[in-house]
A and B are shown apart, each in its own frame.
Chain A
Amino acid sequence: MSVLQSAQKQEIPAFQTDDDSCPQCKSERYLNNGMRLLVGPCYHRICESCVQQIFDAGPAPCPECRRILRKAEFYQPIFEDLTVENEVRIRMRMAATYNKREEDFKSLKDYNTYLEMVEDLTFRLLYDINTDEAEYLIEKYKRDNTASIEKNQSKFRREEQLQQLISNQERIKHQQQREEYLKQLEEEKREKEVAKYNLINALATSDKDAKDIVKANMVHLKKSSLSNRSATQKPRLDIEALLRNVGGDFDDEDIEEEDEYAPFDPAESPYEPMDVELRSRYDDPNPAFRQGNTLAAAGMTREVHQRYVIEGAIAGLFAQPLHEDMVDAEATEANFRSAESPNS
């Protein structure tokens, strides 16, 4: 993917040979060195001036396959083999939509099934098998996952930005180190020369023993080069500072994501449901249900009615009585079910 992106930024030169020729106007590179061969979505080569001529007035059919094309759709292919070009483009398109990564899945198996699905769709697009259905599925996935796709995209963008910043910083550091090293070398060289000069001078002028003078000067030289070494320790990259530069906290988002996967119950309620198990049969004195259920069309079934009667009869049976000092919000809450009127 990144190869193609850099290609789009014209970092990779488009493929061309010396014996290229345009299938339309038959002009050859031999005669026209600046010729650019373009392809459209149907992958038929055509030179830039032909494109200009044919498609300038609006959409027109491809001279080879009659498919309707637009000028804006033409580009310079990177690969010699156009099937490769096609595959890379399809994969790039798929990667833009299906941009989940392994850490987005709970298990490796989920990730694998996801990859399997993506690969299957890619294969269909590549070999023209059920393309309509595949396109539909891709569209649907795009619609259903707009949020996560965008989120991942922005994540990638930030990561890329970060990567670039880090590499930039590293390059600068390297350069600085190199310059420093060169400077040191130069200094050392100069110092050595000075020392040599001093030594010769001392030998020439002093009246001490020549051996002693040489010894003293050697020690001095070694010392200076050692101290230099220790001064040029490699500076560390300050990644945290870089992170701050990129903007947005990576950590914060991670915490949020974790939170998102916390267990969660849609049917959560502050109250326990009343645990009533209905028997299969009651001696119901109510005639409404004895003569074939005539109320069912309105939704009132025997079960609903019986549950209502039984719940009404037992609701609040085990609730604590309300004492004066207990009459506050919590007590009301605990006893609220006792407020149900037992209508039976």
Chain B
Amino acid sequence: MDVPQAILGEEINKETESLYKKEKKLGEGTYAVVYLGHHIKTKRKVGIKKIKLGNMRSGLDMSAIREVKALRELRHPNVIELIDVFSHKTNLNLVLEFLDTDLENVIKDKSLVFMPADIKSWMMMALRGLDHCHRCWLLHRDLKPNNFLIASDGQLKLADFGLAREFGDVKRAMTSQTVTRWYRAPELLLGATNYTGSIDIWAMGCVFAELLLRVPYLSGESDLEQLTTIFKARGTPTEDDWPGLSKLPMGFKFEKHPRPAFAELFHGASDDALDLMNRMLTYNPVARITAAEALQHPYFRNSPRPTQPAKLPRPKQEYVAEEEGLDSDGARRKRHYNDAFGDDVFSDGKGDSAVAHREGSGHSRDQDAQPTAKRMDLRISSPA
């Protein structure tokens, strides 16, 4: 070889960089800046996500690696497309599909009225995307309405794979401190380290409920509170409906809450919708419906038909998208999601905090993910 590998790589990198032009800044978060740009030749709009490397103390940020790694493997109409990656000086730039808005904006726009068929359509697109991730043995681990981006043609796409990782290997423990709290599955809250796609399904069930209610369904103020909220909403689980419950790291005995009637809260929903939601929010992760099974559920085949993506309601004033669910428009998200995250995430954006949170799911910690600190205050009532 005439050209050394390193130089060749740099040239390819420069070539890639010259393909795109940055136009304006869309938003800035603690860990990345997002620019609107376009492909110079095709004029295709793209979002360019510049990962701040800042202090390279711990090398490249984990979530950036996770994101690139996950998105390079995924190509699906309902998953955001990673078009290119290039570096500029010491910054890593991800060129992503440009998407106008997200599901959170849609849910929060109270002037929009959702028909049952609209909700069905969103759920179907989200489940298709998720099924694809799970088929490729990838967990998303941060499903929530503002990570469901919506394209200008109405297609819903999963985004923000900063917490995504491979699953299926029993020898590698994973952290249980993942997923935004309101959407976190009970087995995570109880400290499970060998979870599967069922944690994404729980989050999906919460989003389903949120689409029907127009407010977050299970909004606990702390991790402990979150469990109580879930138990109040869904009844306290027992060894019968969740075998092995007491063997989980934090599987203590909890205050018994009776299971309230599900349909009362969701009085507008049809029976098949409630049945599907019930299966998605089942305690036992093994019995919980999978994405592929959910798509076969009669809910999607029964009338009404899912709305065509192009005909779905969307916010009137188009938000200039915060690409990729970053903490870009900090204030807006803070208002809505402050409580859902661990306290450290929004502690006035002093750089490391968010990274620290995200790194909580990093490899180094995965090996011995035992959040011992929290173990003490999890006892709600003394064992009977």
Partner of A333, one of B75, B117, B168, B198: B75
Given A299-B285, A300-B195, answer yes or no on A269-B132 (Cβ-Cβ < 8 Å).
yes
Tell me if B313 is interfacial: C-beta within 8 Å of chain A: no
What total of A-B pairs shows CB separation below 8 Å?
112
Which one, B27-35, B209-217, B245-253, is touching chain A?
B245-253
In order of increasing CB-CB distance, the 8 nearest A-B pairs are A308-B168, A297-B244, A299-B285, A298-B192, A266-B300, A267-B295, A300-B194, A299-B196
Which B residues touch A273, using CB under 8 A?
A: 135, 292
In the complex the two chains form, is B166's CB within 8 Å of A271's CB?
A: no
Q: Is B270's beta carbon under 8 Å from chain A? A: yes
In the complex, what residues of B have CB within 8 A of residue A145's CB?
303
Chain A, range 329-344, C-beta contacts under 8 Å to B: 332-333, 336-337, 339-341, 343
Contact A297 B248 (CB under 8 A): yes
Residues of A close to B334: CB separation below 8 A: none
Residue numbers of B with Cβ under 8 A of A are 72-77, 115-117, 124, 128, 131-132, 135-137, 166-171, 187, 192-199, 242-245, 247-248, 251, 268, 270, 284-286, 288, 292, 295-297, 300-301, 303-306
Q: CB of A288 within 8 A of chain B? A: yes
By a CB distance below 8 angstroms, the chain B residues around A328 are: none
| Residues of A close to B285: CB separation below 8 A | 297-299
| Contact in complex: B286, A268 (CB < 8 Å) | no
Given A269, A274, A308, which contacts B131 in the complex, CB threshold below 8 Å? A269
Contact B168 A296 (CB under 8 A): no
12 A-B pairs with CB atoms under 8 Å apart are A145-B303, A266-B301, A267-B292, A274-B135, A288-B170, A293-B244, A294-B244, A298-B196, A299-B196, A301-B286, A308-B167, A343-B169
Are B245 and A147 neighbours in the complex by a CB distance under 8 Å? no
Write the chain A residue with the least CB distance to B251.
A297
Q: Which of A268, A271, A274, A340 contacts B73 (CB 8 A)?
A: A340
Residue A311, interface by CB 8 Å: yes
Inter-chain contacts of A308 with B (CB < 8 A): 137, 167-169
Interface residues of A (CB under 8 A from B): 143-148, 260, 264, 266-271, 273-274, 286, 288-289, 293-301, 304-305, 307-309, 311-312, 332-333, 336-337, 339-341, 343
**Are B288 and A339 in contact, with the CB atoms below 8 A?**
no
Find out whether the CB atom of A298 lies under 8 angstroms from the CB atom of B193: yes
Across the interface, do B117 and A147 meet the contact criterion of CB distance under 8 Å? Answer: yes
By beta carbon, the residue of chain B nearest A300 is: B194
Q: How far is the CA of A332 from the CA of B193 in the complex (A)?
A: 33
